[in-house]
Amino acid sequence: MLSRFAPRAAARSALHAQNQAAHIVRATPVTCMFQARISQRRGYATPAEERDLVIIGGGVTCIEKRGALGGTCLNVGCIPSKSLLNNSHLYHQILHDTKNRGIDVGEVKLNLANMMKAKDTSVNSLTKGIEFLFKKNNVEYIKGTAAFADEYTVAVNLVDGGETSVRGKNIFIATGSESTPFPGLTIDEKKVITSTGAIALEKVPKKMVVIGGGIIGLEMGSVWCRLGADVTVVEFLGQIGGPGMDAEISKNIKKTLEKQGMKFKLNTKVVKGDDSAEIVKLDVEAAKGGKPETLEADVVLVAIGRRPYTAGLGFENIGLETDNKGRLIIDSEYRTKLPHIRVIGDCTFGPMLAHKAEEEAVAAVEFLTKNYGHVNYNAIPSVMYTHPEVAWVGQNEAELKEAGVKYKVGTFPFSANSRAKTNQDSDGMVKFLADAETDRILGVHIVGPNAGEMIAEGTLALEYGASTEDIGRTSHAHPTLAEAFKEAAMATYGKAIHY
């Protein structure tokens, strides 16, 4: 997407670039709205105090309505969901997977309130950590809801009452995204929930139906399945994990999740829903037409995707427009048609991933302060934190076929990896896709234990244009799960040793 590339050494730290600016006004990454707060030792900004940069939704005078820093990812997304995923996995493992390990346990009970407390403790600790960093780096933080008053002025309705405004020579918009609602169902975060409600249920549902078999639906569905819910996932497509996940990997994780108790209805669409009674009813049928069926659940998780949060931000006051998906249109340097206003993260193009937004923040600040920046959109990893985890970077087979690229495939199963076998956690595989002629790595796909950590090696290899032979000839410690990564690479250009 970017036409200008920076030397890697020059594109390391957005924070360093920000600290060089005289007064940077920045907002925390938020999924839902413009938000802002000022640190206690500084007065509220006035229209006369013009800033060099105002960032709405991202970080240095912070317009943040939520009342806690870190945006969706930290408050109601990545971080709390990973706490529940980790702790629900421990509970499920103690309940079902100790006897064969020589560990005898007594009665195992779920204390859901304490599990939620552990999640909240993690979130609060991290949000307070950001507040500390703000104070340490003289970051101004305004708590309130903001909208454009004019091209250079952001008006803020303060959470504690009153109003203020901030002027900026430059303004960044980083307002994130929100859950896409399902027509006909009313989200109350109790009975019909989004991911926000899924991390805060007060009891384990007897039956849960998940509309959407993408990453969020599978992660949250697996949490409640482990804790005892009867979970059914309804997915319009013919595979789970979303279109970015390699089809072979998708089939592999589906089998594993089914063994754990999750049920799937693929190639199935939800025609309508009725949430008027205590039990929610969903009418479903085959995506291409077929016999209808009614599903019932005491909790329905709507996980059909996310949409950019761009409503209510006063764009009509400055002439900014969005495309048919609600995304703000930008050029190769993240500028809107008003060059002093730039956009990063979920509210513009690209995958809705926190680390993608972070890379764009670095590049956008460097474009502003140094006139160059760099993000390699072909090397942005994705991770699904089920157990086993699924992770990938680069292209999948379907994308290579569509592009007409000649490629070769190499795989290695964790069932042949000594560490995975010893850990009694050997479901899954590592898969490489490489150019048929040059052996350059085009994509890496992993389903298995610790996949989310292992994908970093694949991302680094892709970033630096490595071949599978480069990986295969690099020593990997024994015994480690990462040896499966090396052997899958060897299988791509030659032959694996242990399979």
Q: What is the pLDDT along the chain (499 residues), one digit of tens a residue?
A: 333 333 333 333 433 443 333 333 333 333 233 333 323 333 344 444 677 667 665 446 667 777 677 777 887 788 899 999 999 999 999 999 998 899 999 999 999 999 999 999 999 999 888 888 888 888 788 888 889 999 999 999 998 899 999 998 899 999 999 999 999 999 999 999 999 999 999 999 999 999 999 999 999 999 999 999 999 999 999 999 998 999 999 999 999 999 999 999 999 999 999 999 999 999 999 988 778 999 999 999 999 999 999 888 999 999 998 999 999 999 999 999 999 999 999 999 999 999 999 999 999 999 999 999 999 999 999 999 999 999 999 999 999 999 999 999 999 999 999 999 999 999 999 999 999 999 999 999 999 999 999 999 999 999 999 999 999 999 999 999 999 999 999 999 999 999 8
- pLDDT for res 53: 67
CA dist., res. 417 & res. 498, Å (int): 8
Structure-token match 């979303």, residue found: 242
**Strands 280-286 and 293-297, bridge-based pairing:** antiparallel
CA dist., res. 490 & res. 474, Å (int): 10
CA dist., res. 231 & res. 234, Å (int): 10
Strand partners of residue 341:
171
**Strands 53-56 and 24-25, bridge-based pairing:** parallel
User: Do 265 and 235 form a contact (C-beta atoms < 8 A)?
Assistant: yes
Q: What share of the chain is helix, strand, coil (3-state, %, to 5)?
A: 35, 25, 45
Q: What does residue 429 show for φ and ψ, rounded to 5 degrees? A: -165, 165
Neighbours of 397 (CB within 10 A): 18
What is the pTM for the complete model shown?
Answer: 0.86
CA dist., res. 128 & res. 91, Å (int): 28
CA dist., res. 330 & res. 308, Å (int): 14
Active-site annotation, residues: 478
